[in-house]
Amino acid sequence: MAKVLGLRCRECGQEYGVVPNHVCEMCFGPLEVRYDYEEIGHRISRTSIESGPPSIWRYKDLLPIDGEPTVGLNCGWTPLVRAERLGRELGLRNLYLKNDSVNHPTLSFKDRVVSVALTKAREFGYEVVACASTGNLANSVAAHAAEGGFTSYIFIPDNLELGKVLGTLVYGANVLAVSGNYDEVNRLCAEAVGKYNWAFVNINLRPYYGDGSKTFGYEIAEQLGWRAPDHIVVPCAGGSLMSKTYKGLNELAQLGIIPPVKTKMYAAQASGCSPITTAIKTKSDVIRPVKPNTIAKSIAIGNPADGYYAIDTVRKSGGWAEDVTDDEVIEGIKLLGRTEGIFTETAGGVTVAVARKLVEQGRLPADELVVLAITGNGLKTQEAVTDCLSQPMHIQPNLTSLKEAIGLQRQAALSV
Partner 1 sequence: MPVTVLIPTPLRKLTNEQDSVETSASTIAGLIQDLNQQFPGLGARLTDETGALRRFVNIYVNEEDIRFLKGTETPLADGDSVSIVPSIAGG
For the chain, how many residues are written?
416
Q: Residue 260 burial (CB < 10 Å; 0-12/13-18/19+)?
A: exposed
Handedness of CA 248, 252, 258, 263 (dihedral sign): positive
Prior bond of 105 cis (ω within 30°):
yes
Binding segment toward partner 1, per CB under 8 A, in 57-65, 202-210, 225-233, 251-259: 202-210
Least Å distance, CB 198 to partner 1, is 13
| Span of 21-29, 53-61, 146-154, 247-255 interacting with partner 1 by CB under 8 A | 21-29
* Cβ atoms 363, 320 nearer than 8 A: yes
229 preceded by a cis bond (ω within 30 of 0): no
Nearest approach in angstroms of CB 11 to partner 1 is: 7
Number of chain positions touching partner 1 (CB under 8 A):
46
Strand partners, 266: 233
Q: Does 134 bind partner 1 (CB under 8 A)?
A: yes
Positive or negative, the CA dihedral 201, 206, 211, 217 is positive
Is residue 289 classed as helix, strand or coil in its secondary structure?
coil
> Is 155 in contact with 178 (CB distance < 8 Å)?
yes
Residue 132 near partner 1 by CB under 8 A: yes
* Residues from 289 through 308 that contact partner 1 (CB under 8 A): 289, 291, 298-299, 301, 303, 305-306, 308
Closest separation in Å from C-beta 134 to partner 1: 5
- What track of x and - describes contact with partner 1 for positions 264 through 283 (by CB under 8 A)? --------------------
Cβ 302 to partner 1 shortest distance, Å: 9
Three-state DSSP at 340 gives: helix
**Which part of the chain contacts partner 1 (CB under 8 A), choosing from 204-212, 220-228, 245-253, 398-406?**
204-212
Select the residue interacting with partner 1 from 59, 209, 216, 266 (CB under 8 A).
Answer: 209
State yes or no: residue 348 binds partner 1 (CB under 8 A).
no
Strand ranges (E), 90-219: 95-99, 128-132, 151-157, 174-178, 199-200
365 vs 97: CA distance, rounded Å: 16
Q: Which stretch binds partner 1 (CB under 8 A): 146-154, 199-207, 264-272, 327-335?
A: 199-207
* CA–CA distance, 199 with 71 (Å, rounded to integer): 14
Among 88, 288, 338, 403, binds partner 1 (CB under 8 A): 288
Site residues (CB under 8 A) for partner 1? 11, 22-30, 110, 131-134, 136-137, 182-184, 186-187, 189-191, 193-194, 202-203, 206, 209-210, 237-238, 240, 286, 288-289, 291, 298-299, 301, 303, 305-306, 308
